[in-house]
Chains A and B, each alone.
Chain A
Amino acid sequence: MSPALVIVLRVLAALGLMLANGVVLIYMLRKVLGHLHVRLGPVHVGPKGVFQTTMDVLKLLSKEDVWPSGVDRTLFYLAPMVVFAPSLMAYGALAFSETWKITDLATGLLFTFAVLSIVPIGILMAGWASANKWSLLGGMRAAAQQIAYEVPLLLSVLPVVMIVGSLNLGDVVLAQDGMWLGFLPKWFVLPQLPAFVLFAVAGLVELNQTPFDMSEAESELVSGFATEYSAMKFGLLFLSEFSNSFVISALGVTLFFGGWLVPWVSSEAIQPIAPVVFMIKVYIGIFVMMWIRGTFPRVRIDQLMQLGWKWLIPASLGWIMVTGLVMKLWQLGPQVVG
């Protein structure tokens, strides 16, 4: 097959995965939150309500596209695209198995973070263009929150990169192959637990998930930056949010939980079902995020900023120093050379 065709097929596969993820994740969110809240969630449409999201997507497609008077037409139109496109691009560097990757970037991790950092621009555009003071507040909160937390997000994964010696996500997974003491898998969550905690917190902030969902705080700002959006524009904004949660969970799994590796099974033997293993782990991570979402109250914006600047950044810098010191003292060089 010509290389161009292969690339197009891969991009379409990524798009298909993103859309399928959206459908499944929305249903999963409603069911998980429902059962956490002593209620059922969707039950009517299809057996156990499984077709609910499909019908919701069709409903969104057929809704009237409302353009409130006074909106900035260009920005209002572009904002959902600026939010959606980077979310799709972020699938580019993920490693579903040794061979199943959209691209095999040497700087995969950096690329993913860089692409995800375009999303707050779109949110700010959405908030500003809506000609609504509440949306503006939501957009400003999102900009402050998500832009500020990219620093701790990146710093928290640096120790892992230092140990692995490469930014390629496939190499990071391969570096976690093997066992310590014969029974403990070499997943980085064990030696790098503080880094994992910092990554989890910063990741939740980046995703605008409760306890950090101030920009779309339902009880305060109705829908925050997305209040004035209807039909498919709204659909794009929220599809991108669910897709981002998949990407962050996938990154967490790749960096800390061994990607597509299964303990006590060699990496060659697991190859046939590696993507399935990867998806199961990612969905467990998303389940934990939804669990947190249904339980915790919301942090206030100034408390969030204090948490980021006063606690997360110094902690991640400190942990980088500790990791470097340990690596130097015990002569632990990078495990993947070149």
Chain B
Amino acid sequence: MSDPRDLVTDVGLLAEGAHDAGSPPAGIRRAPTGVDGLTTEHLIINMGPQHPSTHGVLRLIVEVDGEEIVAAETSLGYLHRGIEKLAETRRYNQLGTLMDRGDYVSGMHGEQAAALATERLLEVDVPAKGQWIRCLVAELTRIASHLIWYGTFGLDTGAMGQFLYAMRDRESILDILEAISGARMMFNYIRPGGVVADLPAGIDGRIRRFCNGFDAYLDEHHALLGGNEIFQARVQGVGEIDADTALAFGLTGANLRASGFGWDVRRERPYDAYPQLDFDVPVGTTGDAWDRYMVRMEEMRQANRMVRQCVDGMPEGDFTAKVPKVVRPPEGEVYASVESSRGETGVHVVSDGSDTPYRYHYRAPSLFACQVLEEILPGHLIADAVMLIGSLDIMLGETDR
């Protein structure tokens, strides 16, 4: 093991063509320098990994000409915990705990993906009540995750108040989720076959109270940030990702829908109770940061609508199928994905018949969003870089796994 003091310049080679921290970033796109040929020196700046703004420990190496970014490179790995390797010694009902810690802000979605993959391997059906409970907590988690995105997006642009208003609303959701699952963040609630426990008595009253107040709060949030001309000037027309680029870079979720493709896993590959729920999928046009903002705000509204439907239409019955604690799925391979708040969270499991997965792969939507950063940042200013990372809603826990 090399000397830790060498870690700063230690980059490790996979092939020829690596460089040290002082030379220009290798980002795949380099904006042309100014036409007038002023010989100004380009600065190579490190943004992160500790930074008040990057959402997690993301390190961006940017080459700037004054304030304009000429090239950018993302440097990941500061939060790599080896989730995929750890999963090879976890039983199938324990995989949810690993997914909780991937995208830690929308934990229920990760657990749902892992549970769906196991159920597909076992060819087990989740009973109706279990499906509806899963949709309920998933949509609540979506609202909570989008509230964090909204708050931190405001912070990135300089508006501090909006973050605390978003946290106030998120506290209500976390209290509800704590009543349901016992934990505020690492839920470990959705398991293969259904959920761990039934909904507590009286929870529907709490959820209805939250839903009734949330629409008005959402209007307030939108008026405070989206209705502000300074914010609009910062965000409109910035960071445009056209539809072809979005598709080519593997974007999913709100990032892809803002660029014009209406692909939503809940619609295209329905799972759980989503076929019975009534919701709209917002789609943008230009793919700039403003469209991504509007798509996510509307998604929050639709999620609120779905939460209300889940509470009103909750069926009776079992909340889980009879699945043994130690499952030994037949040999095979399966891919299952859910529409998480960041995009398509997928789980690709290879089973060899034993009680632990042979290979467990976590398809993280934020990894693809990090790639597209290198493409769109050249040509923008440093202030835009911070704002664009926020608009893509990158979560480092799932990027690094």
Contacts and interface: CB of A to CB of B under 8 A. Distances in A.
A45 interface: no
A38 B164 contact: yes
A299 interface: yes
Interface stretch (A161-169, A180-188, A209-217): A209-217
A217 B382 CA distance: 11
B158 A210 contact: yes
Chain B interface extent, by class: 20 to 34
A220 interface: yes
A297 B383 contact: no
A218 B152 CA distance: 13
Nearest to A222: B52
Nearest to A303: B233
A296 B228 contact: yes
Contacts of A300: 233-234, 381, 383-384
Interface string A87-98: 000000000000
A111 B51 CA distance: 40
Most A CB within 10 A of own CB, among B168, B224, B230: B230
B230 A211 contact: yes
B155 interface: yes
Interface string B374-401: 0000000111101000000000000000
A300 B160 CA distance: 16
B160 A33 contact: yes
Contacts of A141: 67
B225 interface: yes
A36 B159 CA distance: 12
Interface string B222-233: 001100101101
A218 B154 CA distance: 12
Contacts of A36: 161
Interface string A212-234: 01100111101000000000000
Interface string A272-311: 0000000000000000000000111111111100000000
Given A296-B230, A297-B157, A214 B164 contact: no
B43 interface: yes
Interface string A32-57: 01001111000000000000000000
B337 interface: no
B157 A298 contact: yes
B158 A38 contact: no
A269 B233 CA distance: 49
Contacts of A39: 164
Contacts, number: 79
A320 B224 CA distance: 35
Interface in B26-46: 43, 45
Contact of B67 (A137, A211, A295): A137
Nearest to B231: A297
Given A37-B164, A296-B230, A297-B225, A220 B159 contact: no
A297 B230 contact: yes
A297 B382 contact: no
Interface in B137-166: 154-161, 163-165
B158 A301 contact: no
Nearest to A298: B158
A133 interface: yes
Interface of B: 43, 45, 51-53, 67, 154-161, 163-165, 168, 224-225, 228, 230-231, 233-234, 381-384, 386
Given A38-B168, A299-B234, 14 more contacts: A210-B158, A219-B52, A219-B156, A219-B157, A219-B386, A220-B53, A222-B51, A295-B159, A295-B224, A297-B225, A297-B231, A300-B381, A300-B384, A301-B67
27 contacts: A36-B161, A37-B160, A37-B161, A37-B165, A38-B164, A39-B164, A134-B45, A141-B67, A217-B383, A218-B158, A219-B386, A220-B382, A222-B52, A294-B161, A295-B161, A296-B159, A297-B157, A297-B159, A297-B231, A297-B234, A298-B157, A298-B159, A298-B234, A298-B383, A300-B233, A301-B67, A303-B233
